[in-house]
């Protein structure tokens, strides 16, 4: 669900902008609708990963689902761009938190050496979301408006929360009355504030709580909006009461520093238009801030009693797993972004039709993830991941030679399927290596770091590859005898895309080499499957 919601706005974006009063002539103002979700998704990962190590992981899963549902409801009700973006940020925070908690639960329920298939299933389901997202959005838009998409995801979140409780049996986490009541009141009041029903808002007597303060125009800046916010904060405080002892081990200051740095990186690169620029509008201000936050965290890490990332965790095999995850992200994003771009250049100008070309790749990724998990019972994690990334590198190298007519050939389908299969093969081995390298009380943090590395690889990798591609594009345009020749300009744009594929191929090849060093963990006498570098006490 979290992965699907990342892509669900692909076809609905222009409708969403019109729904909050932004015309398609100001398309750049809609960028935060996408980047806001990524911001929430990435920035909370380290925090939620650590929380999942000190609190019952099912409770973390339920809390993240609750946040996701709230974000979905806010998004569905939004009539102003800031509220819409805020809803997407909250959705991303809830969705991102689901990933490390889920991976840590796999480690809880399956011992080392037997996690391959479960991790493959989790990876496959996650990748299926990237296929289902645009399909879900398109299907809903056929019968309803864009708001129905987010009402649907809100209902799905509630049903999943019920399923999590039911799956826990007698030991399932039970909601406490006060936080539950306050939370329901906050949701109800928030709905009133954002929906502003005409029967109430236009009433002479009942409409006073819906009148904005001063010269404000936002529906949040009203008495009923303020009450909703206060109730939400009260519900959060009541929910945390009784768990403060455990949460003191989370290192909130460290989470703010790391989350802030990651947020700056996401906003720097994700807000950029990959066809025209590398760094987004605020990037040159945000990147120095990100560097300062990283330096501040490193200084804090040395002296914190219980740092956000436990001392001694990021070393040896985990470092290599993070590198492989990052490079896999580079390979993945190159295909996801530039295959539709190439299709618009050489096949069709219709954006939806061009996006359908990508399905050939996307359907193979979850298959590869399942296969990679199954192979872990028979082969070393390093070998499986290396084979997958080598296959992806070969596919990307072939794609770098594509031009006019290439996507109409049957061989292009074979290449896209092989590349997707290769990227998917690396998913479960990397997660497995990270979990084996970490102890039971750091599984959540290790899983979060793997996901962070992949997302950073996607965001930053796309920017860097685009920079190389743009350099070649402008060089090709400068060499044109007639810079107004449309066909020649299109050919120059194909050169840009080819450069991105070539760079991604190199990244995948390097990832394959690094993956070979992951090897296989050492099975100890008690059956614990642990990497050799992890044997011994942690700092």
**Predicted confidence (pLDDT) at residue 326 exceeds the cutoff of 90:** yes
C-alpha of 490 from chain center: 32
DSSP labels for 159-176? HHHHHHHHHTGGG-----
pLDDT grade for 539, boundaries at 50, 70 and 90: very low
**Predicted confidence (pLDDT) at residue 312 exceeds the cutoff of 50:** yes
Superfamily of domain 1-174: MFS general substrate transporter like domains (1.20.1250.20)
Superfamily of domain 313-523: MFS general substrate transporter like domains (1.20.1250.20)
pLDDT digits (tens, 9 = 90+) for 269-281: 776 666 566 676 7
Q: What percent of the chain has pLDDT over 90?
A: 28
Mean pLDDT of all residues in 496-514: 93
**Predicted confidence (pLDDT) at residue 526 exceeds the cutoff of 50:** no
Listed in order, the ranges of the chain carrying CATH 1.20.1250.20 are 1-174, 313-523
Residue 246 has a pLDDT of 65
Residue 256 CA to residue 260 CA, distance in Å, equals 6
Q: Where are the alpha helices (DSSP H) in 271-380?
A: 283-303, 316-346, 351-357, 359-362, 364-375
pLDDT digits (tens, 9 = 90+) for 212-249: 888 788 888 889 989 999 998 898 888 777 666 666 77
C-alpha of 258 from chain center: 16
CB neighbour list of residue 354: distance below 8 Å, 6 or more residues apart: 340, 341, 343, 344, 347, 348
**Predicted confidence (pLDDT) at residue 525 exceeds the cutoff of 60:** no
**Residue whose C-alpha is closest to residue 334's, from 421, 401, 400:** 400
**pTM of the model as a whole:** 0.83
Of 9-23, 130-144, 152-166, highest mean pLDDT: 152-166
- Using left for φ > 0, alpha for ψ between -120 and 50, and beta otherwise, residue 337 falls in alpha
**Predicted confidence (pLDDT) at residue 3 exceeds the cutoff of 60:** yes
pLDDT grade for 535, boundaries at 50, 70 and 90: very low
pLDDT digits (tens, 9 = 90+) for 184-208: 899 899 988 888 888 888 888 888 8
Residue of higher predicted confidence among 165 and 535: 165
**Predicted confidence (pLDDT) at residue 528 exceeds the cutoff of 60:** no
Reading the block at residue 247, the tokens are: 């949460």
Return the SS3 of 250: coil
* Range from 130-139, 213-222, 282-291, 331-340 carrying the lowest mean pLDDT: 130-139
Residue 23 CA to residue 200 CA, distance in Å, equals 29
Return the SS3 of 432: helix
Mean pLDDT of all residues in 175-179: 77
> Dihedral of the CA atoms 52, 53, 57, 60 (nearest 10)?
-20
Mean pLDDT of all residues in 508-513: 96
Greatest pairwise CA separation for the chain in angstroms: 77
pLDDT grade for 532, boundaries at 50, 70 and 90: very low
Residue 374 has a pLDDT of 92
pLDDT digits (tens, 9 = 90+) for 17-75: 888 887 655 556 667 887 888 888 888 888 888 888 888 888 888 889 999 999 999 99
**Predicted confidence (pLDDT) at residue 10 exceeds the cutoff of 80:** no
Residue 36 vs residues 42, 285, 425, 493: alpha-carbon distances, Å: 10, 18, 29, 28
Residue of higher predicted confidence among 307 and 29: 307
pLDDT grade for 520, boundaries at 50, 70 and 90: low
Contact between 361 and 134 (Cβ < 8 Å): no
pLDDT digits (tens, 9 = 90+) for 438-486: 888 888 889 899 989 998 898 888 888 888 887 787 888 788 787 777 7
Mean pLDDT of all residues in 336-343: 85
CB neighbour list of residue 209: distance below 8 Å, 6 or more residues apart: 222, 223, 224, 227
Mean pLDDT of all residues in 120-140: 80
Residue 322 CA to residue 339 CA, distance in Å, equals 26
Residue 459 has a pLDDT of 85
pLDDT digits (tens, 9 = 90+) for 370-418: 999 999 888 888 999 999 999 999 999 999 999 888 888 889 999 999 9
For 436, phi and psi rounded to 5 degrees? Answer: -65, -35
């Amino acid at each position: 669900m979290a992965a699907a919601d990342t892509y669900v706005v692909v076809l609905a974006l222009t409708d969403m902008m019109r729904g909050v009063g932004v015309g398609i002539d100001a398309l750049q103002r809609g960028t935060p609708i996408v980047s806001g979700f990524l911001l929430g998704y990435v920035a909370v990962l380290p925090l939620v990963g650590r929380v999942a190590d000190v609190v019952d992981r099912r409770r973390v899963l339920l809390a993240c689902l609750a946040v996701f549902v709230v974000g979905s409801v806010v998004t569905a009700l939004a009539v102003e761009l800031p509220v819409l973006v805020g809803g997407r940020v909250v959705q991303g925070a809830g969705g991102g938190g689901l990933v490390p908690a889920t991976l840590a639960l796999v480690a809880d329920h399956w011992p080392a050496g037997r996690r391959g298939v479960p991790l493959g299933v989790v990876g496959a389901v996650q990748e299926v979301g990237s296929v289902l997202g645009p399909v879900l959005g398109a299907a809903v838009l056929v019968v309803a408006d864009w708001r129905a998409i987010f009402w649907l995801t809100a209902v799905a979140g509630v049903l999943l929360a019920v399923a999590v409780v039911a799956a826990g049996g007698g030991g399932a986490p039970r909601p406490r009355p006060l936080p539950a009541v306050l939370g329901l009141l906050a949701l109800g009041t928030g709905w009133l504030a954002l929906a502003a029903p005409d029967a109430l808002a236009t009433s002479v007597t009942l409409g006073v709580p819906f009148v904005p303060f001063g010269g404000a125009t936002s529906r949040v800046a009203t008495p009923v909006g303020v009450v909703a916010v206060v109730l939400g904060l009260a519900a959060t405080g009541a929910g945390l009461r009784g768990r403060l002892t455990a949460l003191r081990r989370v290192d909130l200051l460290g989470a703010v520093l790391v989350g802030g740095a990651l947020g700056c990186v996401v906003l720097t690169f994700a807000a950029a238009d990959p066809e025209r620029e590398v760094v987004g509008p605020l990037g040159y201000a945000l990147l120095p801030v990100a560097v300062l936050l990283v330096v501040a965290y490193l200084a804090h890490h040395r002296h914190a009693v219980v740092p956000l990332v436990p001392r001694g965790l990021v070393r040896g095999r985990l470092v290599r797993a993070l590198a492989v995850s990052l490079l896999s992200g580079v390979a993945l994003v190159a295909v996801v972004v530039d295959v539709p771009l190439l299709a618009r250049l050489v096949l069709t100008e219709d954006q939806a039709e061009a996006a359908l070309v990508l399905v050939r790749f996307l359907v193979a990724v979850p298959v590869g993830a399942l296969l990679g998990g199954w192979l872990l019972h028979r082969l070393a994690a390093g070998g499986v991941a290396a084979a997958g990334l080598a296959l992806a590198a070969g596919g990307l190298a072939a794609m770098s030679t594509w031009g006019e007519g290439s996507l109409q050939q049957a061989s292009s389908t074979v290449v896209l399927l092989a590349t997707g299969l290769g990227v998917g093969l690396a998913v479960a081995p990397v997660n497995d290596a990270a979990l084996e390298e970490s102890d039971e009380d750091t599984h959540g943090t290790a899983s979060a770091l793997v996901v962070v590395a992949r997302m950073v690889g996607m965001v930053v990798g796309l920017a860097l590859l685009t920079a190389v591609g743009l350099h070649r594009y402008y060089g090709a345009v400068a060499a044109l005898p007639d810079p107004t020749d449309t066909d020649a300009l299109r050919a120059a744009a194909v050169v840009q895309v080819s450069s991105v594929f070539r760079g991604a191929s190199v990244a995948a090849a390097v990832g394959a080499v690094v993956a070979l060093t992951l090897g296989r963990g050492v099975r100890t006498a008690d059956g614990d499957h642990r990497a050799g570098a992890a044997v011994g006490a942690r700092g």
